[in-house]
Amino acid sequence: MFAQSKKMEAVPFSPIRKIFAEVDKLKAEGVDIITLGIGEPDFDTPSHITEAMAAATRNGATHYTSNKGIIQLREAVCRKLKVDDGLDYDPEEIICTVGVSEGVYVSLSSFLDPGDEVLVPDPSWVSYFHVPTMNGAVPKGYPLREENDFQIDVEDLEKLVTPKTKMMVVLDPSNPVGAVQEKETLAKVAEFAVKHNLLVISDEIYEKIIYDGKKHYSIAAFPGMRERTIVLNGFAKAYAMTGWRIGYIAAPAELISVMNRMHMYVVTHTSVQAQWGAVAALEGPQEPVADMVEEFRKRRDYVCRRIGGMNKVSCRVPGGAFYVFVNIRETGMNAEEFTKHLIREAHVAVVPGTAFGSHGEGYVRLSYAVSMENLEKSMDRIEKALASL
């Protein structure tokens, strides 16, 4: 038996995947389980995008591209960043990645040394804790509190920052809590980052999935931030392209030159066919995105209304993404116990909040990126399972 590397000894298998391995096992045994845990739109990729990919393949787009990606996509990304976020980038400041996940890995791994600290929202997407650990760095979770509408509190950041702190992560909108950071909040965070000379990763993958007239602001657009911000975004959520594995990094040229070397040796470049599909996503009609977001809003409203009428659970109405972070503290169970209870008694799978950090204790994440029919069934089952508590 060959020993694993020391860095991997500290990296567990994703708790989310463990749960769904158990779900798959039960399904194989014939148990009817509804899954509300996967962060994936249940819509198909819009047809104009798939047609663009197919046409590119037929026309010979089957060869290597530059490491950064095709110029047509990088130019389209620059136009999008200018129109949507007021940001000016050159195509040479864009790297097309294998989803945002590669962007997370490349951006953290390119700049963190052993012993460096990175401030990570807690709760947060799991990779932001484990990728620093793989690099010998120290992720330090800053709390997102329900009573503060899950807004970032700079006072918490000031308590955590030390001379070893090198980077900070902002997820906006947030996975798993669905919060959209207010402009005033981001302005304070930007001032904090400049004050402490931090490199900031701004994960904006859910920026188009926002409700109730809220607006997304990229922290890169605030004073003093462009030169210290790595913007991560992609196509998986807004365009229902999770399986395409296509995203991008936008950052100043001196940062891009470092990350492009990491990117080159990790993946060479992302799929050329996916890149042409992404061009069509950005340049083509946006009505499919608006239609999908409106359907998500209806589902969000339904789920929050149903949870509000259930025994010993509650939730805040999220302003973005497609998750509800359900408060289960009154049940007396911890997050893992509650998750197992729902699988066993309701045959509904959710994700324990602790999968996203220690501040996720007392919560579970529920995804409403499933059909209304399955949402109705799952809410009925959960309500019944909680009635006797």
For residue 23, what pLDDT is reported? Answer: 86
The pLDDT tens digits of the residues spanning 320-376 come to 999 999 999 999 999 999 999 999 999 999 999 999 999 999 999 999 999 999 999
Mean pLDDT of 282-304: 98
Q: Is residue 244 part of a domain?
A: yes
What is the average pLDDT score of the chain?
A: 97
Are 299 and 36 contacting, i.e. CB atoms less than 8 angstroms apart? Answer: no
pLDDT classification of 1: cutoffs 50, 70, 90: confident
325 and 223 fall within a common domain: no
134 and 71 fall within a common domain: yes
Q: What amino acid is encoded at 112 in this protein? A: L
Least confident of 10-14, 85-89, 277-281: 10-14
For residue 148, what pLDDT is reported? Answer: 97
On the question of pLDDT at 18 being above 80, the answer is no
Q: Which two tokens stand for residue 154?
A: 């700079």
d(CA 51, CA 277): 8
To 5 degrees, how large is the angle CA 271–CA 244–CA 241? 145
307 and 206 fall within a common domain: no
Host domain of residue 169: 47-285
- Among 235, 267, 285, the domain boundary falls at 285
- Percent of the chain at pLDDT > 90 equals 92
The pLDDT tens digits of the residues spanning 96-107 come to 999 999 999 999
Q: What CATH number does the domain containing 297 carry?
A: 3.90.1150.10
Q: How many domains in the chain?
A: 2
Which position has the token pair 């014939």?
Answer: 30
pLDDT classification of 7: cutoffs 50, 70, 90: confident
Q: Using omega within 30 degrees of 0 as the cis cutoff, is the peptide bond preceding 173 cis?
A: yes
Q: Which residues contact 44 (CB under 8 A, 6 or more apart)?
A: 240
Q: Is residue 1 part of a domain?
A: no
pLDDT classification of 124: cutoffs 50, 70, 90: very high
On the question of pLDDT at 212 being above 90, the answer is yes
280 and 302 fall within a common domain: no
Answer with the residue of higher pLDDT: 232 or 14.
232
pLDDT classification of 122: cutoffs 50, 70, 90: very high
Mean pLDDT of 305-316: 98
Q: Per DSSP, what are the bridge partners of residue 314?
A: 327
Q: Which two tokens stand for residue 128?
A: 């932001």
Are 268 and 126 contacting, i.e. CB atoms less than 8 angstroms apart? Answer: no
For residue 12, what pLDDT is reported? Answer: 83
